[in-house]
């Protein structure tokens, strides 16, 4: 069985404000009992996360969930490429002219040639570089976070809240968390690893 995650990404938080926003949400989640304050090895990887708190069951819909569940919350502060998990990106569009670049070939394999410049954009963001490339259609330069990935396959941001192996989060809870992000636009991602 794989690990499944749901991520709320604040796509408008600047690097300067991400830390303070993260703290605000963290203390709200702890004080309302959704997560516990003490961090443990409850998330995927070597990082520490916040385990679910005594009232976590109230913010999820566990009706389709069999058995008890556990898992934790990972808070990402700083440049991160948030992704949708398995598979390859299928297509990406220009924010200026909306032209779409197909990234899959006819056999549904990643088209290496089409992907090459975008690979740089994605890896650059991870490594702290802004790789600005021109749109293949209109030629205008596109900022790394400007590209629109089909199905939000990649989302570039400085702040994200990733819930590992929690049943589906209730809409009201996601809205409540979003309301604490200074009116920023958020993208919700879920996927499997
Ligand atoms: Zn374009």
Task: Judge if 145 and 161 occupy the same domain.
Answer: no
Q: Ligand 1 mean position to 148 CA, how many Å? A: 11
Q: Ligand 1 mean position to 103 CA, how many Å? A: 16
Q: Ligand 1 mean position to 160 CA, how many Å? A: 28
Domain that holds residue 56: 4-63+70-83+157-192
Q: Which of 11-15, 17-21, 69-73 has the lowest mean pLDDT?
A: 69-73
User: Domain count of the chain?
Assistant: 2
Q: Ligand 1 mean position to 120 CA, how many Å? A: 18
Most confident option among 35-49, 61-75, 94-108: 94-108
Task: Judge if 130 and 163 occupy the same domain.
Answer: no
Which pairs with CB-CB distance under 8 Å and at least 24 residues apart come from 67-72? 69/165, 69/166, 69/167, 70/42, 70/165, 71/42, 71/43, 71/163, 71/164, 71/165, 71/166, 72/35, 72/40, 72/42, 72/43, 72/163, 72/164
Ion ligand 1: residues, Cβ under 5 Å: 94, 96-97, 99, 135, 137-138
Task: Judge if 164 and 136 occupy the same domain.
Answer: no
Task: Judge if 131 and 176 occupy the same domain.
Answer: no
Task: Judge if 55 and 19 occupy the same domain.
Answer: yes
pLDDT at 125 over 60: yes
Task: Judge if 16 and 53 occupy the same domain.
Answer: yes
| Residue-averaged pLDDT of the chain | 93
Q: Ligand 1 mean position to 123 CA, how many Å? A: 21
Task: Judge if 16 and 77 occupy the same domain.
Answer: yes
A 10 A CB-CB count for 123 gives: 12
Task: Judge if 113 and 77 occupy the same domain.
Answer: no
pLDDT, residue 103, reads 95
CATH number reported for the structural domain that contains residue 186 in this entry: 3.30.310
Q: Ligand 1 mean position to 176 CA, how many Å? A: 35
Q: Ligand 1 mean position to 138 CA, how many Å? A: 4
pLDDT, residue 2, reads 77
Task: Judge if 21 and 77 occupy the same domain.
Answer: yes
Q: Ligand 1 mean position to 125 CA, how many Å? A: 20
pLDDT at 132 over 90: yes
Task: Judge if 140 and 100 occupy the same domain.
Answer: yes
pLDDT band for position 1 (cuts 50, 70, 90): low
Q: Ligand 1 mean position to 140 CA, how many Å? A: 6
Task: Judge if 23 and 78 occupy the same domain.
Answer: yes
Task: Judge if 161 and 146 occupy the same domain.
Answer: no
Cα 113 to Cα 102: distance, rounded to the nearest angstrom: 11
């Amino acid at each position: 069985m794989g690990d499944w995650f749901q991520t709320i990404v604040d796509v408008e938080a600047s690097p300067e404000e991400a830390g303070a926003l993260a703290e605000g949400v963290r203390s709200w989640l702890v004080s309302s009992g959704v997560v516990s304050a003490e961090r443990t090895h409850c998330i995927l990887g070597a990082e520490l996360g916040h385990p679910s708190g005594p009232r976590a069951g109230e913010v999820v819909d566990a009706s389709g969930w069999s058995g008890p569940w556990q898992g934790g919350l990972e808070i990402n502060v700083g440049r991160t490429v948030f992704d949708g998990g398995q598979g390859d990106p299928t297509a990406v569009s220009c924010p200026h002219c909306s032209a779409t670049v197909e990234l899959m070939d006819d056999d549904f394999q990643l088209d290496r040639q089409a992907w090459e410049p975008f690979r740089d954009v994605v890896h650059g963001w991870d490594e702290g570089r802004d790789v600005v490339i021109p749109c293949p259609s209109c030629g205008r330069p596109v900022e790394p976070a400007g590209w629109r990935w089909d199905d939000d396959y990649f989302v570039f941001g400085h702040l994200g809240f990733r819930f590992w192996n929690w049943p589906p989060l209730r809409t009201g809870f996601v809205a409540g968390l979003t309301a604490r992000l200074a009116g920023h636009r958020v993208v919700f991602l879920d996927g499997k690893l």
